[in-house]
Amino acid sequence: MQDTSYELLTIFRDGGFMMIPLVLCSLVALGVILAKGWTLLVAHVDSQKLLKHIEELGTTGRLDEAMQTARETRGPVAAILVSGLTRVKDEQTGKDIEKAISTTGSIELDFLERGMNVLATIANVAPMLGFLGTVIGMIAAFAAIEAAGQVEPALVASGIKVALITTAAGLAIAIPVNIFYNWFVSRIDTLIMDMEKGAQAVLDLIWNAEARKRAEAR
């Protein structure tokens, strides 16, 4: 029985020159997915642990220990807590603390969203490159028919093969990139909620500290 299976290099060669940008898109997307996936996963796990620990320390007024814990933890929530707790320790006003938290939150959000536009672009461009390869392949097929002056399967087979391979490659890249993009968006939304919880935790620490001062002054 004749082996009709394709190897990757054979598919790449048969797909024509449009396979080059498609392969580049897949490599870039893979690099962004690996880096972004690891960053978001670690940040989310560490943030959940940190919020629970900070809440326990805050109720007992152990600000120094809370700040040290936040500094030793990675992720946007830890950055917000460090920014807020540093200003709490310096006895700055609540408005200054809220401004610092807001600024840090904006910086961390920009970091979380970094690379997402690359994935969105690849998800949109890869199918278009595949369709462009389809058009080029069909043009080649009709050109072969025109040159020969008759329609024979062997004349148009190569052009149709290019069209099918590039279309399949474009869709094969775009589909998983879209899936990962949407998953990353959901993880970023979760981290944004964690950042808001971190900001609220700092404000709760301020309120508890002021309440204890008022109680001691009586």
List alpha helices for the chain, DSSP H.
8-14, 19-59, 63-71, 76-89, 94-112, 116-148, 153-217
**What average pLDDT does the segment 13-21 reach?**
79
- Contacts of 119 by beta carbon, 8 Å cutoff, 6+ apart: 29, 32, 33, 36, 177, 180, 181, 184
**Residue 155, pLDDT above cutoff 70:** no
Amino acid at 195: M
pLDDT interval class at 209 (50, 70, 90)? low
Q: What is the pTM of this model?
A: 0.75
Least-confidence region, from 79-93, 162-176, 204-218 = 204-218
Cα–Cα distances in angstroms (integers) from residue 69 to residues 55, 82, 175, in the given order: 12, 9, 40
Distance between CA atoms of residues 117 and 69, nearest Å: 33
User: 195 and 77 in contact (C-beta within 8 Å)?
Assistant: yes
pLDDT interval class at 2 (50, 70, 90)? very low
